[in-house]
Amino acid sequence: MHVGMWGIAVIVIVIVSWLLYRYLAPGSWKEWTRVGVLQAFIIAFYAEMYGFPLTIYLLARFFGLDLAWAEGGNLWVQLSGNPAAHIVAMVLGYLIVFSGAGLVVEGWRAIYQARRENRLVTDGVYAKMRHPQYTGLFMIIFGEGIVHWPTVVSVAAFPIIVGAYALLARKEERQVLEKFGDEYRQYQRRVPMFIPRRALVEIQEA
């Protein structure tokens, strides 16, 4: 049962925070404000996952949810009454998380190489979306904080984080336009911002 495991909470917060600053290092004070929002989410989320199950207590207090502590602090388990719900949510959630982490790492590698060569990166994962690192970040938060272990904090913070990084992406694009001009404008017209074009078509058809 994920309750009162503060040692694990601290370890996970440190590891996840290190990965955040390793692959999504802020470059200006304005970027630090966005990273600050994400850092607050990380601390609150894992403190609740392993420490104090605030979401479950709130639901019990305001909606009369009958707590079943033997089933753990996972919201899906509490709502369904089935401990297997945690396994299903964990598997699905971490499939999304690891896919997102792959995008973040691949995007970081491509940007690192392009900066060394002083060129615009438009190949690889950047041929499918203009901001794969941010798309990967959104997938990580969604997979962990919505699918695997939803909490009041994670559900409320998700759209805020998406909005903050969408604004940051637009700011970064204005800077890239100043440097690469028409080359980047053509790239913008050709490649979507966050969601690959094929996925966008499938969403529209659905």
Tens digits of residue pLDDT in 40-99 = 899 999 988 888 777 777 777 776 666 655 456 788 887 777 888 889 999 999 999 999
- Residue 24 located in a structural domain: yes
- Residue 33 located in a structural domain: yes
Given its phi and psi angles, is residue 119 left (phi above 0), alpha (psi -120 to 50 degrees) or beta?
A: beta
- Residue 1 located in a structural domain: no
Domain count, the chain: 1
165: Cβ contacts below 8 Å, ≥ 6 apart: 34, 134, 137, 138
Domain that holds residue 47: 6-205
Mean pLDDT, residues 160-188 taken together: 93
Separation of CA 48 from chain center: 17
- Residue 55 located in a structural domain: yes
For 79, which DSSP code?
Answer: H
**CATH number of the domain where residue 79 is located:** 1.20.120.1630
Instruction: For the chain, give the mean pLDDT.
Output: 85
